[in-house]
Structure 1
Amino acid sequence: MDAKNVVLAFWKSMESNDFSAASQWLADDYEAIWPLSSERIVGCDNFIAINTEYPANGHWHFKINRIVCEGNQVVTDITVTDGTRTDTAVTFHTIENNKITRQVEYWPENYEAPAWRKKWTETLEQK
């Protein structure tokens, strides 16, 4: 299986909200880096626990907006929602032997556009 299809299978498994099943796509030495909060998640057990315990108001849904691949590197831009909150995540995946060995994820916070630049911009429809 190529790197792109490994990542597509991972996101499909995440949609099930069975994070144990999703972890089948992760290597034994998996690590996730969240630079914006200065956190590192090591191992499948921690991946499962943090996703299972994350406060949610319902079933999580994952929509891939964009996927870019080069060799064993895959980048996804996704929208994640539980029906109440909606977030964007940009994830850089490294694939080795049909497993995700590393993810670097950016979870940017939405913010109001500054008033000073509104005369040059248009407001986008929310995802």
Structure 2
Amino acid sequence: MEDDQILDALNAHWQASAAGDINAEHDIYDDDVICDYPQSGERIFGRSNLQALRGHHPGKPSGFRVRRILGKGDIWITEYTINYQERQAFTVSIMEFSGDKVVHETQYFADPFEAPAWRSQWVEQIDG
């Protein structure tokens, strides 16, 4: 699959995710996809389990914004923010493709934190 086709598929995936379209969101995944959440030590096997897990999340996302998508060939990274129950999570998704389907995804979730005042002279604020 060409890079521009993968980028189109990723954009459709993230738009469906933001819209809460659980079926279209999971079209990108292979039936035997593996999804890892390293921070919690969990691994989800299969598209049906991944879709069921996300469909039963008690705090449905209330906001979603893709910051950027980077990739080439079979490896693609998306940085985005997602809001759950009035809390924002900075998220990184690393997707590995085989053909036109994701066969492995790793997701990292991070809470925002206040920037310490001691380093203010060397930084500028960006839109979180």
Q: TM-score, normalised by structure 2?
A: 0.81
Which of 11, 14, 28 does residue 14 from structure 2 map onto? 11
Q: State the secondary structure of the residue aligned to 1:14.
A: helix
Partner of 1:36: 39
Deviations 1:8-59 (A, max 9, x none): 1211221221223311111011111111111111111221122122222x65
Which of 73, 76, 82 does residue 74 from structure 1 map onto? 76
Q: Would you say the 8 A contact 2:68–2:80 is kept in 1?
A: yes
- 1:105 corresponds to which letter in structure 2? Q
Deviations 1:58-108 (A, max 9, x none): 654321111111111111101112572221111111112211111111101
Q: Percent identity among equivalent residues?
A: 27
Q: Comparing both chains, which one has the higher relative contact order based on Cα–Cα distances under 8 Å and sequence gaps of 6 or more?
A: 1
Distance in 1 between residues matched to 2:8 and 2:82, nearest whole Å: 20
Partner of 2:29: 26
Q: TM-score, normalised by structure 1?
A: 0.82
Q: State the secondary structure of the residue aligned to 1:107.
A: strand
Q: Would you say the 8 A contact 1:89–1:108 is kept in 2?
A: yes
- 1:47 corresponds to which letter in structure 2? L
Structure showing the higher strand proportion among its residues: 2
Q: Would you say the 8 A contact 1:17–1:60 is kept in 2?
A: no
Matches within 5 A, 1:41-56: 41-56=44-59
Distance in 2 between residues matched to 1:116 and 1:105, nearest whole Å: 31
Q: State the secondary structure of the residue aligned to 1:20.
A: helix
- Which sections of structure 1, spanning at least 5 residues, go unmatched? none
Partner of 2:105: 103
Q: 1:60 to 1:96 in 2, by over 3 A?
A: farther
- 1:24 corresponds to which letter in structure 2? D
- 1:103 corresponds to which letter in structure 2? E
- 1:16 corresponds to which letter in structure 2? A
**Paired residues, what number?**
125
